[in-house]
Amino acid sequence: MKTTSELETKVVRPMAHLTRRELLKGTGVLIGMLSGASSALLALAPSRTWAVELNALSDAQGQELMRFARQLYPHDSLDDAAYALVVSALDGAAKSDPATKKLLADGLRKLDAAAGGSFVRASPPQQLAAVKALEGTPFFEKVRGTTIATLYNNPIAFAYFGYEGSAWEKAGYINRGFNDLKWLPDPPESASPPKA
Amino acid sequence: MTTFEHNDNSVVVIVGSGAGGGTLANELSQRGVKVVVLEAGKRESSATFVNDEWASFIQLAWLDKRTTSGSWRVARDFPNLPAWLCKTVGGTTVHWAGASLRIHPHEFKARTTYGEIDGASLLDWPLDYDELAPYYAKAEDKLGVTRTNDIPGLPGNNNFKVFYNGAKKVGYKATTGRMAINSRPRADRASCLQLGFCFQGCKSGAKWSALYTEIPAAESTGNMELRTQVHVAQIEHDAAGKAVGVVYFDAEGKQQRQRARAVCVAGNSIETPRLLLLSASSKFPDGMANSSGQVGRNYQRHTTGSVYAIMDEPVHMYRGTTMAGIISEEIVFDPSRGFAGGYELETLSLGLPFMAAFLNPGEWGRPFAQAMDLYSHMAGMWIVGEDMPQQTNRVTLNSAEKDQWGLPVPNVHYDDHPNDVAMRNHAYERGRAVYEAVGARKVFYTPPYPSTHNLGTCRMSASPRDGVCNKHGQTHDVKNLFISDGSQFTSGAGENPTLTIVTLAIRQAEYISNQMSQQNI
């Protein structure tokens, strides 16, 4: 299990730090730009460009899985970079287990077939119908399970959804807003005594 | 550090180091009894805990293979994770939320109070509240429970503010409750920093855990040895049927044998009955201490569920204590609500990663994504109520599946009793009313998580025919074999169980040391 800081290093690693030679070592690479939509995220990232290297899956497989994950959990203004982390996790599973690699390859072919030939080029309603057609299959469950455990567990998602992650380094919330809600009256001290 | 020989048969062996085992180890060693604690997990510390839900889950949770059956939804969504328990020194006291409520007098008399209920195997406890009250007081002092012993309550967080105001509007009185979390420095532990990661092991040490209280206190007596990463596979007995020791696999997977004067099992309500069942022999063909046939039966997990609401304004519920907020009005016995037993409503928050995993397991698509988009506006509460004991809800050995030591894995079977369903639906509606009273835009009923409260699988009973142990946790069949965790609960009651487990362990230590002094065991 990767900690968020490991993921952070991985995702926001600027392109400049990835040499062409490093990219060519893998089987594929997903590259994108962080959108201007989340300024909180840009504050985290040293560069707008991101790259996720693949070591078992091809570029095309990576792209298709990324679109699949978007249909499963569609957050329209959440950057592709977050979805690319799902692909990275699936790629890691495929690299360490040939059966998983085959499950993904076979599943993606079925997804293409269900979308009328190419899932990536299909319209969003066609994509959704193709995903629904595969619901409950081991391939679907593998991608869905990986997506739910990855998409919401990284600093890009934390910034997007307004979750502040690890609090220990910041001495918790005792002096940092644990009770800063102002749109309801404060409870009396008998119910909620003042802090020490 | 003190060590004992494997063939030293003067020691009391305790299996497990959590609320029951850890407390018992300390209480016995303080009384001069020599103790060997065998713990399956590793020893972590506040320094090694992480504020990261998934990484912490991997670090602390019991992930050995288990199987499930029955109509409960957990069997569908989490077929190999019936319970969210810990495999680490300190056991579930590492990830518990800290709520410390006494069981009410009428709940100890469940059968008498509720009467005969179809399909339920209710019994009265063989002890009553008054008998336990002085030990509850000791436990509250030990744990440093707020609103006892002149300890102020915790300050409420944002999630509590929503909970409190909604409660008030529907006629409930909410407070930040009785929590084993320091609101002021106490007993060499700091006060709460409102980290929001109570379930991940408290990094400030403000929350009581056996890991950094009972265990080191026991070690300092020189009477206790803790062995970690050891898995107990069997309890052995002599021709007379007395327990003589345990067989376990050490950290290297090598089989070892520890002799014992008495054995106390505190592996939580799945592993404890599993160990007794695994200890079947020609003398005890159905498992050790199982002449009643009740070992593994009456598995209870509390009637739970969560209510999450999306509010108009931000809440940031994840900031601060995970569970310091309680509504207690519904714990009463009032059959006019359509069910026996009662429940508590307690604030609860999950971080973003776990909210995604647990809000509605398996759901996908745009409505789910839209709910998650409003995570920062969510408020949450948890239902904890009494579920009905049933003979068919049980832990058994699944011989078709083996664990890493080649032992049959436990299977956990659970079906909701109609009483459980009625209670859960009532609680969901009351939770909705609380949040709608303060303008909730949308309310979600979240199904029960993998069980954190696992109870009743080696229950205490007045008659040896009805249960596994007596009111001291001493098994009816084997006088030097004890049940020392929540497995011994006769009924689940509607409160978070840790305080009662600790209370029973304090009392059991007194009993065991007296029995040893009198040469009865």
Is B435 at the interface with chain A, CB within 8 A? no
Region at B16 (left for phi over 0; alpha for psi -120 to 50; beta for the rest): left
Residue of A nearest to B372 (CA): A161
**Which tokens sit at B125?**
């406890």
Tell me: pLDDT of B222 over 90.
yes
In this structure, what are the phi and psi dihedrals at residue B39, rounded to the nearest 5 degrees? -120, 130
End-to-end CA distance of chain A: 37
Q: Which one of A149, A168, A186 has the shortest CB-CB distance to B195?
A: A168
Inter-CA distances, B191 with A11, A129, B155, B214, B344, Å? 36, 53, 11, 18, 26
Contacts of B400 (CB under 8 A, 6+ apart): none
Instruction: Give me the count of residues in chain A.
Output: 196
* Cβ within 8 Å, pair A149-B164: no
**Which tokens sit at B191?**
């006060």
pLDDT score for B298: 98
**Min Cα separation B158/chain A (Å):** 5
Tell me: pLDDT of B377 over 60.
yes
Q: What angle do CA B462, B468, B471 make, to 5 degrees?
A: 45
Question: Other CB atoms closer than 10 Å to residue A35's CB: what's the count?
Answer: 14
* Cβ within 8 Å, pair B183-A193: yes
Closest to B157 in 3D by CA, of A53, A172, A155, A38 = A172
Contacts of B468 (CB under 8 A, 6+ apart): B276, B289, B290, B292, B294, B295, B458, B459, B460, B461, B475, B476, B483, B487, B488
Interface A–B counts its CB contacts (< 8 A) at: 168
Chain A residue numbers touching B438 (CB-CB < 8 A): 184
Q: What is the pLDDT of residues B394-452, one digit of tens each?
A: 999 999 999 999 999 999 999 999 999 999 999 999 999 999 999 999 999 999 999 99
* Cβ within 8 Å, pair B316-A162: yes
What is the crossing angle of helices B498-517 and B19-30, to 10°? 40
What is the mean predicted confidence (pLDDT) over B333-359? Answer: 97
Rounded Cα distance, A74 and A160, in Å: 13
In this structure, what are the phi and psi dihedrals at residue A12, rounded to the nearest 5 degrees? -90, 10
Chain B residue numbers touching A161 (CB-CB < 8 A): 352, 372-373, 375-376
Q: Which one of B176, B362, B373 has the shortest CB-CB distance to A191?
A: B176
Inter-CA distances, B433 with A41, B148, B442, Å? 37, 30, 12
Handedness of CA B41, B46, B49, B51 (dihedral sign): positive
pLDDT score for A51: 87
Handedness of CA B394, B400, B401, B407 (dihedral sign): positive
Query: Are B226 and B67 in contact, with CB atoms under 8 Å apart?
Result: no
* Cβ within 8 Å, pair A149-B54: yes
Query: Could you tell me how many helices (H) and strands (E) chain B has, helices first?
Result: 12, 17
What is the mean predicted confidence (pLDDT) over B166-182? Answer: 98
Residues of chain B with pLDDT > 70, as a percent, come to 100
**Which tokens sit at A70?**
């978007």
Query: Are B202 and A172 in contact, with CB atoms under 8 Å apart?
Result: no
In this structure, what are the phi and psi dihedrals at residue A185, rounded to the nearest 5 degrees? -65, 150
Region of poorest pLDDT, from A36-45, B100-109, B239-248, B383-392: A36-45
Rounded Cα distance, B359 and B368, in Å: 9
Tell me: pLDDT of B171 over 90.
yes
What is the mean predicted confidence (pLDDT) over B247-274? Answer: 98
End-to-end CA distance of chain B: 27
Q: Which one of B165, B184, B353 has the shortest CB-CB distance to A184?
A: B165
Tell me: pLDDT of B483 over 50.
yes
* Cβ within 8 Å, pair B197-A168: yes
Rounded Cα distance, B234 and A49, in Å: 58
**Which tokens sit at B279?**
């200890």
pTM: 0.95
* Cβ within 8 Å, pair A163-B372: no
pLDDT score for B299: 98
Give the mutation candidate from B373, B377, B435, B441 for the A interface (greatest A CB count, under 10 A).
B373
Rounded Cα distance, A20 and B412, in Å: 53
Is A144 at the interface with chain B, CB within 8 A? yes
Tell me: pLDDT of B324 over 70.
yes
Question: Other CB atoms closer than 10 Å to residue B134's CB: what's the count?
Answer: 12
Strand-pair partners of A29: A53
pLDDT grade, residue B13 (50/70/90)? very high
Question: Other CB atoms closer than 10 Å to residue A167's CB: what's the count?
Answer: 23
B residues 159-198 lying closer than 8 A (beta carbon) to A: 160-162, 164-165, 173-176, 183-185, 191-197
Rounded Cα distance, A115 and A137, in Å: 16
Is A30 at the interface with chain B, CB within 8 A? no
pLDDT score for A48: 77
Handedness of CA B117, B119, B125, B130 (dihedral sign): negative
Closest to B311 in 3D by CA, of B97, B165, B177 = B165
Fill in the amino acid letter for B39.
E
Rounded Cα distance, B423 and B421, in Å: 5
Rounded Cα distance, B207 and B96, in Å: 9
DSSP H or E run through B53: helix B53-60
Q: What angle do CA A119, A124, A129 make, to 5 degrees?
A: 70
Region at B229 (left for phi over 0; alpha for psi -120 to 50; beta for the rest): left
* Cβ within 8 Å, pair A158-B352: yes
Rounded Cα distance, B278 and B38, in Å: 17
Query: Are A90 and A64 in contact, with CB atoms under 8 Å apart?
Result: no
pLDDT score for A24: 59
Q: Which one of B319, B364, B366 has the shortest CB-CB distance to A173?
A: B319
ipTM of the complex: 0.94
**Where does B1-91 show beta strands of DSSP type E?**
12-15, 35-38, 67-69
**Which tokens sit at A24?**
């060519």
Q: What angle do CA B442, B444, B448 make, to 5 degrees?
A: 170
Residue of B nearest to A193 (CA): B155
Residue of A nearest to B321 (CA): A178
**Which tokens sit at B142?**
């030990």
Strand order in the sheet with B231-237: B231-237, B243-249, B255-259
Chain A residue numbers touching B195 (CB-CB < 8 A): 167-168, 172-173
Tell me: pLDDT of B244 over 90.
yes
Closest to B199 in 3D by CA, of B303, B301, B302, B92 = B92
Query: Are B67 and B401 in contact, with CB atoms under 8 Å apart?
Result: yes
pLDDT grade, residue B73 (50/70/90)? very high
The tokens 């909410």 sit on which residue? B174
**Min Cα separation A21/chain B (Å):** 32
Contacts of A51 (CB under 8 A, 6+ apart): A13, A15, A18, A23, A29, A30, A31, A32
Strand-pair partners of B326: B175, B346
Give the mutation candidate from B54, B352, B375 for the A interface (greatest A CB count, under 10 A).
B352
**Which tokens sit at B454?**
């696992």
Question: Is residue B356 classed as helix, strand or coil in its secondary structure?
Answer: helix
Task: Please report, in tens digits, the pLDDT of each residue of chain A (196 residues total).
Answer: 344 444 444 444 444 445 555 555 788 888 888 775 555 666 666 677 888 999 999 999 999 999 999 999 999 999 999 999 999 999 999 999 999 999 999 999 999 999 999 999 999 999 999 999 999 999 999 999 999 999 999 999 999 999 999 999 999 999 999 999 999 999 999 999 999 8
Residue of B nearest to A78 (CA): B373
Closest to A193 in 3D by CA, of B330, B179, B200 = B179
The tokens 């309310």 sit on which residue? B443
